[in-house]
């Protein structure tokens, strides 16, 4: 049983990489407003070669490739 309160954030993929880049930028702005601290790194970006989103998971720049266009976030930290 998971005791961490989590929220799933998922971005749609589009056939146009520019649309995906714009969605990643908008998601980064939203996550910054929610208080996600990614240091000097953007929170979300889209890699057109891999056709996948990536989510920064810490302020040291660690990131995770989105297997299915989304990422779990700690709701308690974002809601604080």
Cβ contact 52:45 at 8 Å: no
Indicate whether 1 pLDDT > 70.
no
pLDDT of residue 10: 95
Percent share of the chain, pLDDT over 90: 65
Q: Taking the model in full, what pTM does it have?
A: 0.86
- Reported as a single tens digit per residue, the pLDDT across 32-66 is 998 888 889 999 999 999 999 999 988 898 999 99
The percent of residues in the chain predicted with pLDDT above 70, rounded, is: 98
Task: Give the separation between CA 31 and CA 37, rounded to whole angstroms.
Answer: 9
The DSSP annotation for 32-47 comes to HHTT---TTS-SEEEE
Q: How far is CA 40 from the centre of its chain?
A: 15
Q: In whole numbers, what is the pLDDT of the chain averaged over residues?
A: 91
Nearest to 21 by CA among 62, 57, 51: 51
Domain assignments of the chain as residue spans, ordered by start: 6-79
């Amino acid at each position: 049983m998971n005791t961490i309160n989590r929220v799933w954030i998922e971005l749609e993929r589009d056939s146009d990489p520019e649309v995906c880049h714009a969605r990643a930028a908008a998601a980064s702005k939203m996550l910054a407003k929610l208080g996600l601290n990614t240091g000097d790194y953007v929170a979300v970006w889209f890699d057109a070669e891999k056709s996948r989103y990536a989510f920064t998971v810490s302020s040291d720049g660690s990131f995770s490739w989105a297997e299915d266009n989304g990422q779990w976030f700690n709701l308690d930290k974002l809601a604080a």
